Amino acid sequence: MIALLTTGKPLPEEKAAAKPIRVIYQSAEDGLADTIKPRLEASGADCSRVMVIDESDKELTLCDERLEQAVQETGAKLIVLDPLQAYIGDNGDMHRANKVRPVFKRLT
């Protein structure tokens, strides 16, 4: 999906190509250099259109202002958070809707 979107190739079941987009890709489980980037390259993605938010000093959460800032700065049209539950944050509880709902509302 990222390969198609970053190169502007048609998505499955579409005939027309689209303008390439920028993507923010965060992974809490797989290494960026040894796993994610090789997969993106193998699938033909334009890696210059894929951005990663630096989490070396502080882990990213859905409520983190860096996420909104990155979207505004890059114009990214897709955010991949892999796996999503890794970015809920310390105050979120996946088993309690009242704890997760505000987190997702912030994301929108």
- For the entire predicted model, the pTM comes to 0.86
Structure tokens at 89: 């944050």
pLDDT confidence bin for 26, thresholds 50/70/90: very high
Q: What is the mean pLDDT of the chain?
A: 90
HSE (side-chain half, CA atoms, 13 Å) at 94: 7
pLDDT confidence bin for 16, thresholds 50/70/90: very high
Name the residue ranges covered by the structural domains of the chain. 2-107
CA distances (Å), 106 to each of 65, 68, 103, in order? 10, 10, 5
